[in-house]
């Protein structure tokens, strides 16, 4: 087991190093990599739930919660600090995740996905329609926050947010790895293979799933806060169902079997979007759709799965 | 709220419910038989609407009355071509595989169709109100309303409801579909081509979505994003009713349509909230939907 994980960990280290170093040479990559890391954090939450065999088609609600936490701070209090935003985004989404989680962990599979979708659409319509507080579909601008009391020019700021995202992403990646290797994480995985047996062992499957759900909501929240700071805006679109679909898409693209799949998927997704949008402005969505179809039909375990399959065939098929 | 407004709200609600029912029942039928949540359903609705508008803008120059058959033809074309393609080339390789993958591949179809729609028909709103203007206005308890919306649309919805019931319960083809839904293995063993049943069901469901779009096209302007809105709405209706419940879907569509119409007149900002709030409330109490039984008889 340990021998098979190690190459992936090596790839993960190379990836994090690359996202720290490469943008120093190409300035436009700073924002690109910051987005990849921030979205990767959100998708980490989806991958976590995939371990339990559950798919949330409403995770954008936590993403939006995190984003709007930063936006509301700027609108009603003003100023702000990246660390305060991220901490608050994490807290609000955790609380929200706990409330929603108490309801949704009673259900599985399609019903779990459906209820998540319903909650997220309620949040979306509130964000869209409470015009006085949220500016409706226009969203709220997120003013550039400082860090430790320093403020930055736009040029420096893109690197500041990149490195903050990188540190948060590494912490989240490491934390999720540790969690999945812990007894609690193994129980989460056991839910996918045999939930009844888990209950026979004296564990509460609901509680196991609730813990996983709240962690994944927390990840969605801080990822959302980071994205809103990077893009300097929070709109209701952040909580729309297509956003949730996008996160599940990225998780499957990268591969749900390993935490690093979240970042591998996010990197591929954002790169395709970045370059397709630059060259074929009208059809990047079409290209992503085709990529998704190819991945599902020919590599259902995602990018991570491709590597494992290659490794297995080289060892003579195990 | 005076009585005129109340009547207006009821009429709005009924015509809206008729459209939503057509789309939702297609979604519900597909889920009932194939066990797939078709995320591309909203795009089929949008394609139906756009193609119908294109057809009727062209044919109206020959004779405005030909726009009605044009609506029908457009929805069948979309159902057979797009629906057939999605089932044959995207879903078929995935039967028996992970549910997530089946759902996600229809999401991919949604992304592609959403993009194609912008490329083909552009982003400017399109109007094709010809069929709506042909039929006279009628007066219901002193309120003037287009007969297209209060007679034709509900008429088509009711005909579809009874047509589907008759088809599934009284005809051989319907019995075959029910048999595959009930037990795929056993029905394959007695010589039923389950693959074909899946294809046909998907095409029927897709055509119903496109028909909803085609019939909606004269009443509203066609804009990008209409598909994404419709899929969640029809999903909310189908899930609130209980996936696979045909009569239940009709009642739920009516309930949501009427509630929404009254909310529009009383508290317009909460209009979009209504279906989702109802969905949350119902699913919390009855996760299998209002009309779904725990041991679900599928369709």
3-state SS, one letter per residue, for chain A = CHHHHHHHHHHHHHHHHHHHHHHHHCCCHHHHHHHHHHHHHHHHHHHHHHHCCCCCCCCHHHHHHHHHHHHHHHHHHCCCEHHHHHHHHHHHHHHHHHHHHHHHCCCCHHHHHHHHHHHHHHHHHHHHHCHHHHCHHHCEECCCCEECCECCCHHHHHHHHHHHHHHHHHHHHHHHHHHHHCHHHHHHHHHHHHHHHHHHCCCCHHHHHHHHHHHHHHHHHHHHHHHHHHHCEECHHHHCHHHHHHHHHHHHHHCCCCCHHHHHHHHHHHHHHHHHHHHCCCCHHHHHHHHHHHHHHHCCCHHHHHHHHHHHHHCCCC
Out of 2.40.160, 1.10.1450, 2.60.120, 1.10.3470, the CATH code matching B3-285 is 1.10.3470
- Identify which has the larger pLDDT, B97 or A217: A217
* Residue-level pLDDT at A220: 94
Helix or strand holding residue A233 (H, E): strand A233-234
Q: B104 and A118 in contact by Cβ < 8 A?
A: no
The chain B residue lying nearest A50, using CA atoms, is B100
Query: Does B223 touch chain A if contact means CB atoms closer than 8 Å?
Result: no
Residue at token pair 């041991």: B295
Q: A296 and B94 in contact by Cβ < 8 A?
A: yes
Which residues of chain A make contact with B111, given a CB cutoff of 8 A? 285-286, 288-289, 292
pLDDT in tens, A20-78: 777 777 777 888 888 899 999 999 999 998 888 888 888 999 999 999 998 888 878 77
| Domain definitions of chain B by residue range | 3-285
How many Cβ pairs within 8 Å bridge chains A and B? 117
> What is the rounded distance in angstroms from the CA atom of residue B94 to the CA atom of residue B4?
53
Which residues of chain A make contact with B110, given a CB cutoff of 8 A? 245, 289
The residue ranges of DSSP E strands in B62-190, in sequence order, are 137-140, 143-146
Task: Decide if A227 contacts A128 (C-beta within 8 A).
Answer: no
Q: B269 and A240 in contact by Cβ < 8 A?
A: no
3-state secondary structure of A312: helix
* Residue-level pLDDT at A60: 92
Res. B298: pLDDT tops 50: no
Least confident of B126-135, B172-181, B205-214, B243-252: B126-135
Measure in Å the smallest separation between the Cα of B212 and chain A Cα atoms: 22
The chain B residue lying nearest A130, using CA atoms, is B269
Residue range A139-149: mean pLDDT, rounded: 77
Two structure tokens written together for A189: 């995985």
Q: A283 and B273 in contact by Cβ < 8 A?
A: no
- Give the CATH number of domain A7-314: 1.10.3470
- Which residue, A40, A38, A68, is CA-closest to A163? A38
Res. B215: pLDDT tops 70: yes
Query: Does B280 touch chain A if contact means CB atoms closer than 8 Å?
Result: yes
* Of residues B94, B104, B235, nearest to A248 (C-beta): B104
| Domain definitions of chain A by residue range | 7-314
Q: Which residues of A touch B (CB under 8 A)?
A: 50, 55, 57, 103, 106-107, 109-111, 113-115, 117-119, 121-122, 125-126, 128-131, 240-242, 245, 248-249, 252, 282-286, 288-290, 292-293, 296-297, 300
> What is the rounded distance in angstroms from the CA atom of residue A21 to the CA atom of residue A264?
17
Residues recorded for chain B: 299
Query: Does B273 touch chain A if contact means CB atoms closer than 8 Å?
Result: yes
Q: Which residues contact B69 (CB under 8 A, 6 or more apart)?
A: none
Please tell me whether the overall predicted TM-score, pTM, comes out greater than 0.90 for this model. Answer: no
ipTM exceeding the 0.85 mark:
no
> What is the rounded distance in angstroms from the CA atom of residue A39 to the CA atom of residue A19?
14
Res. B119: pLDDT tops 50: yes
């Amino acid at each position: 087991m340990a021998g098979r994980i190690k190459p992936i960990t090596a790839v993960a280290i190379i990836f994090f190093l690359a996202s720290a170093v490469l943008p120093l040479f190409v300035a436009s990559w700073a924002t690109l990599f910051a987005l990849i890391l921030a979205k990767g954090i959100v998708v980490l939450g989806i991958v976590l739930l995939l371990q339990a065999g559950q798919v949330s088609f409403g995770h954008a609600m936590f993403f939006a919660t995190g984003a709007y936490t930063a936006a509301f701070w700027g609108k009603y209090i003003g100023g702000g600090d990246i660390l305060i935003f991220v901490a608050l985004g994490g807290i609000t989404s955790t609380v929200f995740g706990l409330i929603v989680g108490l309801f949704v962990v009673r259900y599985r599979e399609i019903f779990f996905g459906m209820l998540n979708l319903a909650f997220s659409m309620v949040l979306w319509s509130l964000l869209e329609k409470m015009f006085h507080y949220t500016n409706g579909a226009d969203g709220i601008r997120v003013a550039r926050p400082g860090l430790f009391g320093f403020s930055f020019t736009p040029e420096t700021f893109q690197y500041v947010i990149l490195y903050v995202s990188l540190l948060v992403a590494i912490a989240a990646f490491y934390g999720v790895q540790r969690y999945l290797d812990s007894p609690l994480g193994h129980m989460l995985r056991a839910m996918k293979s045999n939930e009844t047996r888990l209950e026979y062992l004296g564990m509460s499957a609901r509680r196991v799933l609730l813990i996983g759900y709240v962690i994944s909501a927390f990840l969605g929240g801080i990822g959302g806060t980071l994205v809103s700071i990077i893009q300097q805006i929070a709109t209701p679109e952040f909580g729309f169902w297509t956003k949730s679909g996008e996160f599940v898409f990225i998780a499957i693209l990268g591969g749900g079997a390993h935490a690093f799949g979240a970042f591998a998927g996010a990197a591929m997704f954002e790169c395709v979007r970045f370059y397709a949008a630059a060259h074929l402005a009208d059809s990047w969505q079409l290209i992503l759709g085709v990529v998704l179809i190819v991945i599902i039909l020919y590599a259902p375990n995602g990018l991570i799965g491709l590597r494992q399959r290659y490794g297995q065939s080289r060892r003579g098929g195990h | 709220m005076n009585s005129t407004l109340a009547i207006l709200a009821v009429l709005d609600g009924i015509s809206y419910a008729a459209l939503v029912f057509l789309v939702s029942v297609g979604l519900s039928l597909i889920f009932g038989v194939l066990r797939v949540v078709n995320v591309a359903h909203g795009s089929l609705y949008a394609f139906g609407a756009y193609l119908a508008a294109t057809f009727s803008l062209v044919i109206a120059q020959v004779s405005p009355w030909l726009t009605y058959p044009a609506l029908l033809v457009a929805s069948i074309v979309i159902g057979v071509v797009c629906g057939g393609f999605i089932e044959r080339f995207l879903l078929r390789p995935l039967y028996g595989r992970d549910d997530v993958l089946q759902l996600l591949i229809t999401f991919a179809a949604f992304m592609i169709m959403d993009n194609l729609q912008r490329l083909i028909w552009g982003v400017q709103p399109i109007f094709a109100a010809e069929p709506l203007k042909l039929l006279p206005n009628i007066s219901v308890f002193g309120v003037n309303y287009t007969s297209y919306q209060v007679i034709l649309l509900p008429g088509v919805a009711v005909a579809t409801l009874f047509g589907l019931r008759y088809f599934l319960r009284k005809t051989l083809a319907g019995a075959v579909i029910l048999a595959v839904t009930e037990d795929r293995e056993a029905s394959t063993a007695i010589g039923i081509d389950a693959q074909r049943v899946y294809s046909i069901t998907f095409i029927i469901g897709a055509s119903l979505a496109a028909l909803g779009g085609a019939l909606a096209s004269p009443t509203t302007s066609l804009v990008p994003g209409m598909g994404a809105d419709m899929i969640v709405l029809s999903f909310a209706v189908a899930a609130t009713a209980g996936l696979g419940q045909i009569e239940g879907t009709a009642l739920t569509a009516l309930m949501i349509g009427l509630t929404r119409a009254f909310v529009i007149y009383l508290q317009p900002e909460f209009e979009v909230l209504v279906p989702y709030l109802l969905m949350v409330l119902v699913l919390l109490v009855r996760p299998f939907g209002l009309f779904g039984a725990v041991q679900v008889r599928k369709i």
